[in-house]
Amino acid sequence: MKLTLSAVFISTALSASVFTPSTSADEAILAGGCFWCMESDFEKLDGVTDVVSGFTGGSAPNPTYNGNHKGHFEAVKITYDGDMLSYNDILDHFWVNIDPFDDRGQFCDKGPSYLSAIFVANDKERAIAEKTKADVVAQFPNKKVVTPILDASTFYPIKGDEIGHQDFYKKSPVRYKFYRWNCGRDQRLEEIWGEKALGKNKS
């Protein structure tokens, strides 16, 4: 009798595993100027499960917003469901949410930390990133696309007393919308990308 119950238990467990949908969590690290805006734009994308603001790309250890972050980019780490989105999908969304021609920063924010960039973790990601960049170059033959594709390095999430920067657009929606409008981000995105920039991700 015990053998029979064990067999039933094992069979049930195996059946359950067969019918459980497979899921996978993947990550992408991208810089597109103000990380408040990048959080907002990506968290509205179906299939994205988390977006964390931070710094990456520089050599200074433990960079902070109000302290030393020289050499680092304001960036976001995006976690997404690999069964719903591909890395290519993430980058397609990235391009239409940045100004790829600005070599001084993004929108009203100027300076090295506000430059756009794609940080790739391996050769596969680099190949996809290069392809999407080539598509943008082909779309704008008379402009110079300056967004670089860089090797991923340590990502430092905003933490401690500066944790208010995480999900700022949710915590302070009025201040965020006022900043975004006055920065001219959406106006410039529409100028560059037209209808592609007018998706449901805008706030």
In this predicted model, what pLDDT tens digit does every residue of 119-175 receive, in sequence order?
Answer: 999 999 999 999 999 999 999 999 999 999 999 999 999 885 566 778 888 888 999
34, 37, 108, 183: the catalytic one is: 34
Q: Between the CA atoms of 125, 128, 133 and 134, what dihedral angle is there, to the nearest 10 degrees? A: 140
**Residues 6 or more apart in contact with residue 90 via CB below 8 angstroms:** 28, 30, 42, 78, 80
Look at the domain 22-197 and name its fold: Peptide Methionine Sulfoxide Reductase; Chain A (3.30.1060)
β-strands 116-120, 149-151: how paired? Answer: parallel
Model pLDDT, residue 17: 32
The alpha-helical segments, DSSP class H, found in 20-157 are 35-43, 87-95, 123-139
Mean pLDDT of 92-101: 98
Dihedral class, residue 75 (left if φ above 0, else alpha if ψ from -120 to 50, else beta): beta
Q: Specify the DSSP class assigned to residue 76.
A: E
Provide the pLDDT confidence category of residue 16 given band limits of 50, 70 and 90. Answer: very low
Q: Where are the domains of the chain?
A: 22-197
Please state, rounded to an integer, the average pLDDT across all residues of the chain: 85
- Is 183 catalytic? The answer is no
Q: Could you tell me which residue, 195 or 129, shows the higher pLDDT?
A: 129
Provide the pLDDT confidence category of residue 199 given band limits of 50, 70 and 90. Answer: low
Whole-model pTM over 0.95: no
Residue 93 clears pLDDT 50, i.e. is over it = yes
Residue 5 clears pLDDT 90, i.e. is over it = no
Model pLDDT, residue 7: 39
Residues paired with 73 in a beta bridge: 56
Model pLDDT, residue 165: 73
Contact 136, 100 (CB under 8 A): yes
